[in-house]
Structure 1
């Protein structure tokens, strides 16, 4: 799978995914990403005019907390929730 760089603003996070966000984990990941870079891409699927997050909510929020506008991602085929 090929990692691409996409704009964070073009990623939709489904409501049921947002419920499981752990702020402490986001802080840990942000610190690790700041020191070591993003180790693994998030997974998204193509939606209508945007990407839909499949996996990597904490990584996405950590990158966002660091003030970045883009993130490494892999486009996967997944059924809609």
Structure 2
């Protein structure tokens, strides 16, 4: 079973290919939902040396950045590189 842990947003790297898939209107809507209801689903990251690499949850991550948060709930997963 995966455990939720707090991860510093500054320590999360978003792969370049994922950045192209970002939709600002989705980020804005998610940010509003997070303010009202909290973050319901943690993002997924994998460890890569001293940083974490985003596996899933780019819009949630960007919404938390937009809200000025410094940390986010995340599942640490074991994923292979693509």
Query: TM-score of the superposition, structure 2-length normalised?
Result: 0.97
CA deviation map 1:31-76 (0-9, x unaligned): 0000000000000000021000000000000000000000000000
Q: Which runs of 5+ in 2 are unaligned?
A: none
Q: Could you state the TM-score of these two structures normalised by the residue count of structure 1? A: 0.98
2 CA distance for matches of 1:17 and 1:10? 17
Hey, what's the Cα distance between the residues in 2 that align with 1:50 and 1:5? 13
5+ long unaligned stretches in structure 1: none
Instruction: Provide the aligned C-alpha RMSD in A.
Output: 0.5
Aligned residues: 81
1:40 aligned partner: 41
Which residue of structure 2 lines up, in the alignment, with residue 7 of structure 1?
Answer: 8
Q: Hey, what does 1:66 align to over in structure 2?
A: 67
